[in-house]
Amino acid sequence: MLSMPDDLLVDSYEKAIALNLCPQFINLLEKEIKRRSIHLKSCGSQTSYNENESQSIH
């Protein structure tokens, strides 16, 4: 996952949740998002990310 761009990682995470994919896969994506210090915030029905905010992953 090191070669995956941040925006693709976040998009994959959002789609995995929307499609109710395997919880272990979602957890793997969450761990990588946290490792990269990417912070997600809720925007209506979509989730977006901002690396400079101090909110936790939803």
Which CATH number is 21's domain given? 1.10.287.1100
- Give the pLDDT score at 41: 73
- Residues 55, 31 contacting (CB under 8 angstroms): no
Considering the domain boundaries, does residue 38 fall inside one?
yes
19 confidence band (pLDDT: 50, 70, 90): very high
Considering the domain boundaries, does residue 55 fall inside one?
no
Residue 53 CA to its chain's centroid (Å): 14
H-state helical runs in the chain? 6-18, 23-35
Considering the domain boundaries, does residue 36 fall inside one?
yes
The answer for residues whose C-beta is within 8 angstroms of residue 9's C-beta and 6 or more apart is 1, 29, 32, 33, 36, 38
Give the range of the structural domain holding residue 43, as residue numbers without chain letter.
Answer: 6-49
Total domains in the chain come to 1
What would the mean pLDDT of 8-22 be, rounded to a whole number?
97
| % of the chain with per-residue pLDDT over 70 | 67
Considering the domain boundaries, does residue 27 fall inside one?
yes
